Amino acid sequence: MREKTPKTNEDISSELFDLEEPLHRARHFAEALRMIASSDGMRGEPGEAIETLAQSLILILRELQDKREFLFGLAVEVKEGGAA
């Protein structure tokens, strides 16, 4: 089991690094929502634009939740491997 720990630690590091991009996307969507909400001269239906951005944020956050659950599983494996 000791041999698996470095690979598992590498996997955890890689997965944590992969979380950076969706976090940036979520922040950019939130900034866009804020701009939409404060714009007087916005074209089109504001409700549709906000709905589209909100749905994108929901998908990103679901992806982050899945990543977190995966990382939790890896952390449990590392802990169990370290205890053996």
Contact 4, 81 (CB under 8 A): yes
pLDDT-derived band at 1 (thresholds 50, 70, 90) equals very low
Please give the pLDDT value at position 20: 84
**Residue-range domain boundaries for the chain:** 4-83
Over residues 3-21, the mean pLDDT reads: 76
pLDDT-derived band at 84 (thresholds 50, 70, 90) equals very low
Whether pTM > 0.75 for this model: the answer is no
What is the Cα–Cα distance from 59 to 61, expressed in whole angstroms?
5
pLDDT tens-place string over residues 16-75: 788 888 888 888 888 888 788 777 666 667 777 787 888 888 889 889 888 888 888 888
CB neighbours of residue 29 within 10 Å: 19
What is the Cα–Cα distance from 6 to 2, expressed in whole angstroms?
8
Q: Provide CB contacts within 8 A for 25, sequence distance 6+.
A: 56, 60
